[in-house]
Amino acid sequence: MKSKTFVQVWRWGLLITLIVLWEAGSRTGFIDPFFFSSPTQIFRTAVVKWQSGQLPGDIAYTASSTLLGFILGTITGSVLGLMFWFSRPIAMVAEPWLIVLNALPKLALAPVLVILTGIGFTSKVILAFLMTVVVAAMSAYGGVQTVDPALQTLLVSLGATRFQTFCRLVVPSAMPSIITGLRVNIALAMAGSIVGEFIASDRGLGRMIVYAGTIFDLPLVWVGVTVLSIVSVVMYAGVVLLERILLRAT
């Protein structure tokens, strides 16, 4: 219990120290306020943007494209990876493809996707989807490979059908791998959405950062970066909660 309090105190203490040092450095001229702004200036800018309604709209836009891409990519990839259990030959054919697709820099496809699907919401969702689907498939396939053959033998000896073995053994066995992939994937989905907004967009936190940069409104850039960090932490916390629910359910 004591060590938990110690960890919490240090975590928050470090954050507060960083903010205080940032503010002090900016006010004393130790760091250039033009480039690095200051926490109070960032807060003031954020309040103005929030009251104008722009910031909530951009947060909702980026968060929803991230979440949609994450959900679609994770479900599609996980189902694909799990399905490889039904056919070892298909899995062996698909495995090198997955590895190549995983290594492929999907973000490099962003300009093509924007041209294909426009500057709207769809291109951001597709990028987030592409960023997550392969990782999810590889995580699920990795989980499938950890299924204990002796447990499989047991279920067959009990007269379980292949589908029953899949539902009762393969999916729960692969769940820890799938869950581990979720934490990686939420960050990847956000990177996909943001890069999509960087390339071309009329809304979103990514577009806000790029726009602020072009007009040298660096406090607004820092607002974008700070808000993105907060949204990332909230989504990560959501994934951790989802993990707990899934682990309890299995």
Residue 159 is a binding residue for another protein (CB under 8 A): yes
151 lines the binding site for another protein (CB under 8 A): yes
Q: How far is the CB of 159 from another protein (least distance, A)?
A: 2
Nearer to another protein, 62 or 165 (CB): 165
Contact 155, 99 (CB under 8 A): no
User: Taking the complex as a whole, how short is the minimal distance between the CB of residue 168 and another protein, in angstroms?
Assistant: 7
User: Segment contacting another protein (CB under 8 A): 20-28, 48-56, 100-108, 154-162?
Assistant: 154-162
CA distance 78 to 135: 9
Shortest approach of another protein to residue 158 CB, angstroms? 5
d(CA 107, CA 98): 17
Identify the residue among 19, 91, 119, 160 touching another protein (CB under 8 A).
160
Report, in Å, the least distance between residue 94 CB and another protein: 27
Residues forming the site for another protein (CB under 8 A)? 148, 150-151, 153-160, 164, 168-169, 172, 175, 250
